[in-house]
Amino acid sequence: MRAIVVLAELWAASEIILLTGPLRGSALFYAIVALALFFCCALTYLVTLPPRSARDAPITRHLLPLQLALTLLVIALTGWTLAVHAHALAVAPPLRASINRHLDSALAAVAPGDLGPALLNFAEYAALPLALLALLRVPLAKMGLGSFNRGSAASAAIWLVLPFFAVAYAILYADTSVALVGRRFLSSFFSSGFSEEFLFRGALFGRLRAFMPTQWAALSQAIVFSLWHFGTDVARGHGIVPAFALMVPAQAAFAYAMAILVRRSGNLAIPALLHTTIDTLRSVV
């Protein structure tokens, strides 16, 4: 419960900073988003059963520091690259930049349109950490890829009904073709929808839960998720202080809710579909 209070305090402080600056409209928007997230989380608790939490095997617990360090290294490197691409940072680590450039060229040669960069994100955010954590004896279920808990179908309906209706509206009334929405959906799924959910709600949240209470693990990964986006927010011209203020309402609140959804449903599928649909709407509307 204390973790939720801390998140609420951070959210309130961030909203006050936004209200006193040029981003007042964003403050109102994210206040509405926070209410929607809280409502959906409350309904999720009502329709799902409390999941059983199995302890890590002894060898997995022994390797936990290495598993967590590896996950945080991937997050640091990809966050640095994200900031470089957004032009918030001018310098990329030489070896990292070289690997990124060669992978980007190889994937662009075999993938149509914007699917190449999306697959690059998928390789770096999901495929690579998944393979490395699997080698370090982390079970798939501990990375958000386990079986669904009871009530998951109902929770999927709660979280996905409005975004899917919004997509349908964009197709029917906003002069957006089904083909365009399909391409953007596929690109968003690999670029961020599944990839970011796996990296933060699967890999990081799963490892943090191995040694701290779920609520604190959810809050910790939410803060890391928002810091990971900080360079992008700065590059959008918000400035240092507004970018910091945006982190909690814009990213941390969403990340916290997605962690709770993964915990209650047992699988990343619902958060990944929600994340993908939201990003698809942003790209077509």
Q: How far apart are the C-alpha atoms of 53 and 160, rounded to whole Å?
A: 26
For residue 249 the two structure tokens come to 């309402």
**pLDDT at residue 27 in the model:** 86
**pLDDT at residue 102 in the model:** 57
DSSP category for residue 175: -
**pLDDT at residue 182 in the model:** 87
The tens place of each residue's pLDDT in the chain, 285 residues long, gives 788 999 999 999 999 988 887 777 888 899 999 999 999 999 999 999 877 777 777 777 789 999 999 999 999 988 877 776 666 665 655 555 556 665 666 666 666 667 777 888 899 999 999 999 999 999 999 999 999 999 999 999 999 999 888 888 888 877 778 888 888 899 999 999 999 999 999 999 999 999 899 999 999 999 999 999 887 777 776 677 777 888 888 899 999 999 999 999 999 999 999 999 999 988 887
**Can you tell me whether residue 148 is helix, strand or coil?**
coil
Place of tokens 């929607």: 36
> Which helix or strand (DSSP H or E) is residue 72 part of?
helix 64-85
Residue pair 218/260 in contact by the 8 Å Cβ criterion: yes
Place of tokens 């997995």: 60
**pLDDT at residue 243 in the model:** 79
Q: Could you tell me which of 262, 216, 222, 274 has the C-alpha nearest to residue 51? A: 262
**pLDDT at residue 97 in the model:** 59
Residue pair 217/256 in contact by the 8 Å Cβ criterion: no
**pLDDT at residue 180 in the model:** 85
**pLDDT at residue 98 in the model:** 57
DSSP category for residue 141: G
Q: How far apart are the C-alpha atoms of 80 and 203, rounded to whole Å?
A: 18
Give the other-Cβ count within 10 Å of 79's Cβ: 19
Q: How far apart are the C-alpha atoms of 77 and 230, rounded to whole Å?
A: 14
Give the other-Cβ count within 10 Å of 253's Cβ: 23
**pLDDT at residue 108 in the model:** 61
**pLDDT at residue 1 in the model:** 73
Q: How far apart are the C-alpha atoms of 76 and 225, rounded to whole Å?
A: 11
Q: How far apart are the C-alpha atoms of 164 and 61, rounded to whole Å?
A: 40
Residues 6+ apart with CB under 8 A from 234: 83, 86, 88, 240, 243
Give the other-Cβ count within 10 Å of 255's Cβ: 28
Q: Could you tell me which of 268, 234, 48, 60 has the C-alpha nearest to residue 145? A: 268
Residues 6+ apart with CB under 8 A from 16: none
